[in-house]
Structure 1
């Protein structure tokens, strides 16, 4: 099973990469979903450790406790990586709706904007940016 963060690992902070190294993408994904945006104490305490064990299992919880050595560690929400994933999924959905369902972009956006909680203006910016980055470099003629 692939984690949503596996495709954007190069955009993740070092602390998250350390978690991935210790317990894998899937468990790290669960931790970010549950505790992202807060500081977590990776210790044997009666507050944090039971929550961690319940979420990812005792073996993985022990691995993280050993990795972080009881430190208070901020668990980021990974918004940049999630935004990149959202944009890629939006682009894939839009391509499918245009090519397979034969819908116009504007018609597709009527469905996709609410689905992704994004404005059509933001979608146009995303599409413009993706065209610029995916356009092949044309060799000069002379």
Structure 2
């Protein structure tokens, strides 16, 4: 996740988690547990050990230890971050389209390839391409 590009779309709690455990672990956390409330366990009692082990499988031992230290015994909602993920997808679609155009590939061919690649309709790809670029408007950084 290119967090700087979607920072305003992410909840503060997730930004705090990303600061504590790093972006790669946070991305795995959202991918695997997004949309759920996870009781972050300290790993002391039997159930806590099981929950800590499950979290370790998702984000690694070091990150799970940091989360247990900061949020141990607290049920923590892990957001899905759908709007941020969509924004990143749309930015990537725009980047791939612009790159293809620079390479001389026709717009219709690029749209068809992007639609297949992202499992979207060609109409949706055209809609994404017609949206103003967030970089140009400054939406992402201000």
Q: TM-score range by the shorter chain?
A: 0.7 to 0.9
Where do 5+ consecutive residues of structure 2 fail to align? 138-142
Larger deviation: 33-42 or 57-66?
Answer: 57-66
TM-score (norm 1): 0.81
2:140 aligned residue: none
2:7 aligned residue: 9
3-state DSSP of counterpart to 1:46: helix
Q: How many residues align?
A: 132
Quote the offset at 1:7 in angstroms.
3.5
> Structure 1 CA distance, aligned partners of 2:39 and 2:82?
22
Quote the offset at 1:33 in angstroms.
1.3
Larger deviation: 117-126 or 89-98?
Answer: 117-126
> Structure 1 CA distance, aligned partners of 2:132 and 2:54?
40
> Structure 1 CA distance, aligned partners of 2:14 and 2:74?
14
Are the counterparts in 1 of residues 40 and 68 from structure 2 also a CA contact under 8 Å? yes
Quote the offset at 1:32 in angstroms.
1.0
> Structure 1 CA distance, aligned partners of 2:64 and 2:117?
35
Larger deviation: 118-127 or 81-90?
Answer: 118-127
The answer as to 2:119 corresponding to 1:121 is no
> Structure 2 CA distance, aligned partners of 1:91 and 1:32?
24
Q: CA RMSD of the aligned region, Å?
A: 2.1
Greater relative contact order (Cα 8 A, min sep 6): structure 1 or 2? 2
Are the counterparts in 2 of residues 5 and 29 from structure 1 also a CA contact under 8 Å? no
3-state DSSP of counterpart to 1:111: helix
> Structure 1 CA distance, aligned partners of 2:106 and 2:136?
21
Deviations 1:8-40 (A, max 9, x none): 233211221121121111111111111112111
Are the counterparts in 2 of residues 39 and 73 from structure 1 also a CA contact under 8 Å? yes
TM-score (norm 2): 0.81
Where do 5+ consecutive residues of structure 1 fail to align? 136-142
The answer as to 2:51 corresponding to 1:48 is yes
3-state DSSP of counterpart to 1:77: coil
